[in-house]
Amino acid sequence: MNDPVLSVIRNRVLDLSTGQAIPGQSAQPDDPMKLLLAEIHRRHAGAAGVNALGHAPGVAAILVYGSYLRGKRDTLLDFYVLLDDFSNMPKSWHAYTAHILAPNVYNICVGKIPDQARAKYAALSLRQFEKAMTGQFHSYFWARFAQPCGLVFVKDEQTTLRVLTALRDSVCTFFKRVLPLTVNPFSSQDFWELGLSQTYRCELRAESSQQAKKLSEANAEYFLQLTQAVAQGTPLLENYAPNDSVIKTSSSQFEASIARRERQIAGFSWALRRFQGKFLSVARLLKAATTFEDALEYLLWKIQRHSGVYFPPTDRQLRYPLIFAWPLLWRLYRHGAFK
């Protein structure tokens, strides 16, 4: 494989469904994940049903990301479900919301307490996923998938290549947008901590300001491999170097030669992303309230888990969150539950 960035990603992304393992990871999904994946396929099977392998014909691939990949098992699993199209959505009108503002977010729960398995998943088309990695101004998608993820289902080899290429593109876009913010020289961890902290500021997040540092430390080896791969001067780097910008490496230190004007434009662009991101975050919360069961309860749980701040909702707020939950969310915001 001639593309070093794609090689690093392929080695890191774990296809649990076919047993292609990487060091330190299980080669097969654990039982709770199997149940959750089966439920996702069932939901998107539509009238066609699932095939003999238990797979829905409309599901192209399923990715897992987040703290599960860092070894946590007492957490809500996070999946991204990539669909061939929106013909088999839980409700027909959900296809319109997915087209307008992807992704649609759902929660699933299988089994009985105390062996109950829970997850949330974001659904969008594979084509949307591919375009978002290079074509979107905001960092919502490409910043997420420049980070490690696992491929737990894919329908065929062609789709595998499409997903891996999209992940490669997300890394390329991440470097293109973050490199102009760097101060030479910098380490791989400096770069990723800077980039992740910038992207966190572009959304309403409940995590602490130290989360970017924690993520860059937890994935230090993988991020270093990616940075070294980009630094080799692959064709990917040409996408971000309109002014003959280059990135050089010496041991674990890096330098980016970026034109002054490009740095100025990047600073303005990130300020615009922060402004844009707050509106997109609110819009996605509003949309999730229509697709996500017990949306307010989940949101309050997540806020408490990351910030330690919790205020109990009223019955009316739980029943009609879009109408009555705003004073509660404002109270949480004022107490620093999210930024």
Q: What percent of the chain has pLDDT over 90?
A: 40
Sequence-ordered list of residues with C-beta below 8 angstroms from that of 212, at least 6 positions apart, any chain:
192, 193, 196, 197, 200
Q: What is the pLDDT of residues 48-99, one digit of tens each?
A: 778 767 788 889 999 998 877 766 655 678 999 999 999 888 888 889 999 9
Out of 21-30, 48-57, 213-222, 319-328, the most confident range is: 213-222
Q: What is the pLDDT of residues 313-331, one digit of tens each?
A: 888 877 777 777 778 778 8
Cα distance between residue 237 and residue 110, in whole Å: 44
Out of 25-34, 50-59, 176-185, the most confident range is: 176-185
Q: What is the band of 236 on the pLDDT scale with cuts at 50, 70, 90?
A: very low
Q: What integer pLDDT is reported at residue 54 of this predicted model?
A: 79
**Could you tell me which of 276, 27, 20, 65 has the C-alpha nearest to residue 167?**
65
Q: What is the band of 237 on the pLDDT scale with cuts at 50, 70, 90?
A: very low
- Residue 275 above 60 pLDDT? yes
- Residue 238 above 60 pLDDT? no
Q: What is the band of 27 on the pLDDT scale with cuts at 50, 70, 90?
A: very low
Mean pLDDT of 141-166: 94
Q: What is the pLDDT of residues 123-132, one digit of tens each?
A: 999 999 999 9
Whole-number mean pLDDT of the chain?
Answer: 82
Write down the pTM of the prediction: 0.83
Residue 245 class from Cβ within 10 Å (0-12 exposed, 13-18 middle, 19+ buried)?
middle
Q: What is the band of 172 on the pLDDT scale with cuts at 50, 70, 90?
A: very high
Q: What integer pLDDT is reported at residue 20 of this predicted model?
A: 47
Look-up of token digits 């990723």: 192
Q: What is the band of 290 on the pLDDT scale with cuts at 50, 70, 90?
A: confident
Sequence-ordered list of residues with C-beta below 8 angstroms from that of 161, at least 6 positions apart, any chain:
none
